[in-house]
Structure 1
């Protein structure tokens, strides 16, 4: 049974009936000694610690020990720091592999007691969370307030785990509401590059965009995005010319999927002269999955920003912020007609801009159309 057999199989193996086997088991107090599991290789074993002790005693450095043992230098360094001689010029003792192995086995036992079983610590952490302190601020405060009391010190990760995992000590279950995010669970951090590359085929990233676009010296390069309504059910597409900050709004009353956005952008781009329709920079939203069809129909190059990098479309982000004065967050955008969108765009384009030297985007666009030789003052903001 210590090797994993059932009672019946164990009785058959030794040639006794089940009743005798049960009697033998009860004679041991009902406990069956289990075989000690093999070390996983993920953690240091006794053989590793004995080798570390021999090399350390011979004067081998941390990196040399790591190469001999086949572990990382940080693993060896932590092991010596935990179980080696006391720090300082008067440090006593030496690295003891058998004692280190015993301490490691004790630390590895599960389940572990929570630090917040200490009522004093739990109440203090709870009080600080209720006044919106972050776990890092609480940890720093405890280290400064109780420098000689290890039981009153806790790292930020321990606080987060107590908030995100049920049954961790005496902290209230609703304390996560006082965190800045207010979330009751962690949000996984996945690789955005690997995830986004599969969304839209044949993307050309912003790193391949010509330098003339970045310095705003040449007109005809645009930035675009969607302004979303309540529950993301309605949207307005926005286009902003990088040099003049001229804004165009595209009506998307019923749908803002890839087909609807493609048709709306094609209708807007075809109203522009060819020399003012050179490129478009968008984020990696799937609404632009039809970007190849747009490029083929308009000869307009389309570039995609890096994930979670809205500053790469600075003019468009600023304009979308201005649009929220007209279309507040949480409202239904489908109720606005194309005529209303044109009125809003006209108001924005007639607003003087400091970055244009006090002229309006409409005046700057008019200069491009009718006075192409006249310079337009524009910064990189």
Structure 2
């Protein structure tokens, strides 16, 4: 059986909510990152890494403790880490968000550690949250003196639930812009036009198309009314355009995904397997007694060529996905052979679809 995943859903699209097709511009999560230190580790830290030593000296300096010049503290109980978090839309100062902590050095485990107060920065270089707290680590690492070790899951990554406090809100333009923009997840002019028409049927004169992704929405300025209108717009049902015919090939795993819009023009496929065998049977030849000959190796090669006979499969014009799958299964092709067949059909102009190799 070939490694083929086929979506046999009907070709015609079904109604979907506006909120499932796109989102309002600016109403999204923002990524935050920070560089911090985890302390309290049971000897599984970074030891004397230079960047960790400098960071520890900086932390000590903020607390009024000056380490002696030229002295590198033993930091086996500390680890340099990167802290990441997602800042939700409309997050306000004082709210709590989850953070993920990952080692960047040679620390073996973060189990039992605590993150020292770490500022989290946005893409604009501003501080949006402060993180601190005890880590919950799902992994476990154990090592012996003879060098043997056992690792369960990933002990170098931990998480702190509600470990960061939001310090700055991100402006979304929700309450200040006269026109709000709504963006499709996937660009499509027909879907954008249908969303516009559906919104205007409910709220005449509200929506207009700017391009294949964006709609401009003229909404009431009052925040309370604007929120109600946005909620109503998100729940409107729309029939999106049919998905373009597409074949996706994963070259690493051999997985092939074909959507239901794929069609074939008239084509014939013959797929066979050619096997060439070369067998070597060397023999040792001994010279006659008392002769001047020498012992030698005589080569003996046997060559054979076998080619499997396979039937020619004929596809009529407009063959559906189900027929394509059945025919390819009858041919007994492997994933790599399937990719070769699809590429050949595309080159022959019989495959009416876009091929995407990932």
Using the size of structure 2 for normalisation, the TM-score is: 0.16
Q: Which structure dedicates a bigger proportion of its chain to strand? A: 2
Bigger relative CO (Cα 8 Å, ≥ 6 apart): 2
Using the size of structure 1 for normalisation, the TM-score is: 0.16
Q: Which structure dedicates a bigger proportion of its chain to helix? A: 1
